[in-house]
Amino acid sequence: MTQDKNKKAECGYAGQALDFVYDEMAADATAAFGGHLAACTNCADEVSSLSASSLAVQEWRSEAFDPLATPRFTIPVVTEKRASFLAGILGLFRQPLYAASAAGLLLASAVGIYILVNAGAARPNVERAAVSASPAAATPAPSIETPKPAIPDDDVEEVLAAKEDKTENPVAAERRARTRMIKRDKPLRQSNDDTHSGTVATNEPGAKTVPEDLFGEVPETRDRSLRLTDLFAEGEED
Amino acid sequence: MFKELADEQLVELAVRDDPEAFGEIVRRWERKIFALCFGMLGREDEARDAAQEAFINAYRSISRFRGDAKVSSWLHRIAVNQCLTVKRRQKSRAEEYLGDEDEAESRMFVASPTGSPKNIAEKGERLKLVRQAVGALPQELREVIVMKEFEEMTFQEIADTLELPLSTVKSRLYTALKQLKMRLERLPVEIV
Ligand SMILES: [Zn+2]
Q: Decide which of 3.40.50.1390, 1.10.1740.10, 3.30.70.920, 2.60.40.420 is the CATH code for B1-92.
A: 1.10.1740.10
Would the pLDDT of B67 be above 90? no
DSSP, res B135: H
Residue A78's pLDDT is: 63
Residue B117's pLDDT is: 77
Contact A206 B60 (CB under 8 A): yes
What's the CA gap between A107 and A219, in Å, rounded?
Answer: 18
Residue of higher predicted confidence among B110 and B79: B79
- Residue ranges per domain, chain B? 1-92
Could you report the per-residue pLDDT of A172-221, keeping only the tens digit for each? 344 444 434 433 343 333 344 443 444 454 333 333 333 333 333 333 33
What's the CA gap between A72 and A194, in Å, rounded?
Answer: 11
Would the pLDDT of A108 be above 80? no
Contact B3 A165 (CB under 8 A): yes
Among B residues 80-139, those touching chain A with beta carbons less than 8 Å apart: 105, 108-109, 112-115, 119, 123, 126-127, 130-131, 134
- Strongest mean pLDDT among A88-92, A189-193, A233-237, B90-94: B90-94
Among A residues 45-104, those touching chain B with beta carbons less than 8 Å apart: 48-50, 52-61, 63-65, 67-68, 70-71, 73-75, 77
**Cβ contacts (< 8 Å) between B178 and chain A: which residues?**
1, 49-50, 53
Would the pLDDT of A104 be above 80? no
**Alpha helix stretches (DSSP H) within B42-99:** 44-60, 71-91, 94-99
H, E, C per residue of chain A: CHHHHHHHHHHCCCCHHHHHHCCCCCHHHHHHHHHHHCCCHHHHHHHHHHHHHHHHHHHHHHHHHCCCCCCCECCCEECCCCCCHHHHHHHHCCCCHHHHHHHHHHHHHHHHHHHHHCCCCCHHHHHHHHHHHHHHHHCCCHHHHCCCCCCCHHHEECEECCCCCCCCCCCCCCCCCCCCCECCCCCCCCCCCCCCCEEECCCCCCCCCCCCCCCCCHHHHHHHHHHHHHHHHHHHHC
Residue A224's pLDDT is: 41
| Complex ipTM value | 0.85
Residue of higher predicted confidence among B117 and A3: B117
Could you report the per-residue pLDDT of A116-173, keeping only the tens digit for each? 766 544 444 333 332 233 333 333 333 323 333 333 434 434 433 333 344 444 433 4
Global confidence as pTM: 0.61
Contact B23 A161 (CB under 8 A): yes
Could you report the per-residue pLDDT of A23-52, keeping only the tens digit for each? 999 999 999 999 999 999 999 999 999 999
H, E, C per residue of B3-17: CCCCHHHHHHHHHCC
Chain A contact for B175 (CB, 8 A cutoff): yes
Q: How far is the CA of A42 from the centre of ligand 1 (A)?
A: 6
Section B162-178 average pLDDT: 96
Q: What residues does B33 pair with on adjacent strands?
A: none
What's the CA gap between B108 and B124, in Å, rounded?
Answer: 9
Residue B171's pLDDT is: 97
Amino acid code (one letter) for A194: D
What is the band of B31 on the pLDDT scale with cuts at 50, 70, 90? Answer: very high
Could you report the per-residue pLDDT of A38-92, keeping only the tens digit for each? 999 999 999 999 999 999 999 999 999 999 999 999 887 765 554 555 555 555 5
What's the CA gap between B156 and B20, in Å, rounded?
Answer: 31
Residue of higher predicted confidence among B44 and A201: B44
What is the band of B47 on the pLDDT scale with cuts at 50, 70, 90? Answer: very high
What is the band of B110 on the pLDDT scale with cuts at 50, 70, 90? Answer: very low
- Residue ranges per domain, chain A? 2-65, 153-237
